Amino acid sequence: MVAPSARCYRGGMAPIDIFLVLVVNVVWGFNFVAAKLGVNELPPMLLTGLRFSLIAVLLAPLIPRVPRDQWRPVLWVAVTAGLMHFGLLFIGIDRVGDISSAAVAIQLNIPFVTILGVAVLKETIRWRRIAGIVLSFAGVAVIGFDPHVFNYLDGLFLCVSAAFSMAVAMIIMRRLRGVGVFALQAWMGLVTGPSMLLLSFLFEAEQGAAMAEASAIGWAAVLYTALGSSLVAHAANYRLLQRYPVTLTAPMMLLAPVLGIMFGVTLLGDALTPRMIVGSAMTLTGVAIIMLRERKIAGTAP
């Protein structure tokens, strides 16, 4: 998925690419707000199904463009990264009281993928990354024990489960060869869209009424999560991963959850308690340590 040599890197980042870093962080940071606004008007499984169905329609010409020996891993990525990760994440966002804890919890995909890299791929790990993993999980534990969060621990658990699902997908992505970012997005849309719509039909109610009563904000949330987050931001991030080392680009993306927290507080009125501030700082610091020490795993996201 990622150009192995980052051949365009010459020790500095071009101004256009610095701008793209900011774009990706802002788009992904605001995506937490869009998701929360969307699930306030549409059932989360329905919203996820609509999002990925739109992606499948837009990228339909790219669906066949997958090498024959890559079909099975691509389908597994679609299931773990699309169906499971985003399904669990949107249900979790629907249940959490604010998006700040969700924005932090989802960053656990990096500690999870590091652990899976050791357990599944037999990679080595040293004390700095171990410390980063411990600090990351400790930070989420601090957030979880915040009295403000007690009312939606189930939502926080779903967000952590979504992070684990993405970690599994990232391990599979490491072995993909010759699969473009939009081709992978197309297959994720084809698999996740209809599957989530079916799950919505089975387990959710009043979908028709919800769509009929949804405001422009609700439909804008569907468009934003599909076009902004999945297409624009992923494409820009893919360009950065092709041009620069992972150790340069990955830590820069930690601005996204920080912006997500800021947007939640300023736009949605989320409460930000001292315990949540401390826990968020611990988790993001731990993830940063892992990213800075890891030169292989952290850069496999599409």
Is residue 161 within 8 A of residue 90, CB to CB? The reply is no
Is pTM beyond 0.85 here? no
Task: Output the CA angle 1-70-290, nearest 5 degrees.
Answer: 35
Q: Model confidence at 247, in pLDDT bands (50, 70, 90)?
A: low
Q: Which residue has the tokens 């150009």?
A: 3
Task: Output the CA angle 162-30-50, nearest 5 degrees.
Answer: 60
Check residues 16 and 290 and name the one with the higher pLDDT.
16
Mention every residue, 6+ apart, whose C-beta is less than 8 A from residue 184. Answer: 1, 74, 77, 78, 176, 302
Q: Is the pLDDT of residue 10 over 70?
A: no
Q: Is the pLDDT of residue 294 over 60?
A: no
Q: Is the pLDDT of residue 44 over 90?
A: yes
Mean pLDDT of the chain: 83
Cα 263 to chain centroid distance, Å, stands at 17
Structure token pair of residue 58: 């837009």
Candidate ranges 34-48, 121-135, 256-270; pick with highest mean pLDDT: 34-48
pLDDT per position as a tens digit, 47-94: 999 999 999 999 988 777 788 888 899 999 999 988 999 999 999 999
Select from 174, 222, 210 the least CA-distant residue to 37. Answer: 222
Q: Model confidence at 289, in pLDDT bands (50, 70, 90)?
A: confident
* 292: number of Cβ within 10 Å: 16
CA dist 158 and 114 (Å) reads 20
Q: Model confidence at 241, in pLDDT bands (50, 70, 90)?
A: low
Please enumerate, as own/partner, the contacts of 270-274 that have beta carbons within 8 Å and a separation of 24 or more: 270/97, 270/98, 270/99, 270/100, 271/97, 271/98, 271/148, 272/100, 273/146, 273/148
* 11: number of Cβ within 10 Å: 6
pLDDT of residue 242: 65
Q: Mean pLDDT across the stretch 237-251?
A: 67
pLDDT per position as a tens digit, 175-227: 788 888 888 889 999 999 999 999 999 999 999 999 999 999 999 999 999 99
Percent of the chain with pLDDT over 90: 34
pLDDT of residue 79: 94
b/e for 239-265, b at 16 or more Cβ within 10 A? bbbbbbebbbbbbbbbbbbbbbbbbbe
